[in-house]
Amino acid sequence: MLTDEQKSFFKKPNFGHLATLNADGSPHVSPVWIDVDDEHILINTAEGRKKLRNVRRDPRVAMEVHEQENPYSILSLNGEVVAITADGADEHIDELSLRYLGKEKYPFAQADEERIILKIRPTKVIAP
Amino acid sequence: MLTDEQKSFFKKPNFGHLATLNADGSPHVSPVWIDVDDEHILINTAEGRKKLRNVRRDPRVAMEVHEQENPYSILSLNGEVVAITADGADEHIDELSLRYLGKEKYPFAQADEERIILKIRPTKVIAP
């Protein structure tokens, strides 16, 4: 679904801006670290976060990503959360920590935090 | 509603990420230049843009702003578009052009483009 060029946005330490839907249907937007596998965009979040409650209720999301060094190089997409899993999420947040912060161990973990991976299937991509 | 410190996010050339609602209720997010007056957050857009169609249908929005030099300094808010006006919008986009691009005249105007200002009343602010 994503071209290699589009995937490259998600393999660099760029920030994503993830829009989800609140219970009353209003939008919510939050900054996220981003990653990608063969088919999905991957977001690492934690139990208790609003975006997680939101996508459990309604899986429709939108996301915008711009290259950190060029805020006018922008990719945006609509998508759907097709999987929500704790499998591999602790290892994954450490990988992201290394990519974004240069730290092998994610330094912001809270006590008893349960990390969760959201897998997003893009349904529409607007990109360079 | 916004403190002076919060307003400072909107007076620097930071980027906003504005979430609106599509006709089917799904979220849309787009990057925006941002500004603020005494009471409202100001977004300059143009006739024909999706976010404008969206807020005419449903005025509920969410926005996230981070400082360009520190992506971990983040303000996010929920709000409502309380006014949509062409008054002053051409002058306003030139002011933003100067702030963001250092160019006195907005260089990306398309032929017959009608600029529009969205005035957003914040209803909830989460900020440093």
Q: What's the rounded Cα separation, in Å, for the pair A15 and A117?
A: 16
- At residue A111 the predicted structure's pLDDT band, cuts being 50, 70 and 90, is confident
Could you give the ipTM of this predicted complex?
Answer: 0.92
Q: Which domains does chain A have, with CATH numbers?
A: 4-126 (2.30.110.10)
Q: What's the rounded Cα separation, in Å, for the pair B104 and A74?
A: 24
User: pTM for the full model?
Assistant: 0.94
Q: What is the pLDDT of residues A50-92, one digit of tens each?
A: 999 999 999 999 999 988 888 889 999 999 999 999 999 999 9
| Partner A contacted by B74 (CB < 8 A) | yes
Among the partner residues B25, B27, B30, nearest to A61 by beta-carbon distance: B27
Contact B51, B27 (CB under 8 A): no
| Partner B contacted by A7 (CB < 8 A) | no
Which residues of chain B lie closer than 8 angstroms to A60, CB-CB?
25-27
Which residues of chain B lie closer than 8 angstroms to A18, CB-CB?
29
CA B53, B57, B58, B59: dihedral to nearest 10 degrees?
A: 60
| Partner A contacted by B19 (CB < 8 A) | yes
**B29: which strand partners?**
B19
pLDDT tens track of chain B, all 128 residues?
A: 789 999 999 999 999 999 999 999 999 999 999 999 999 999 999 999 999 999 999 999 999 998 888 888 999 999 999 999 999 999 999 999 999 999 999 999 888 999 999 999 999 998 76
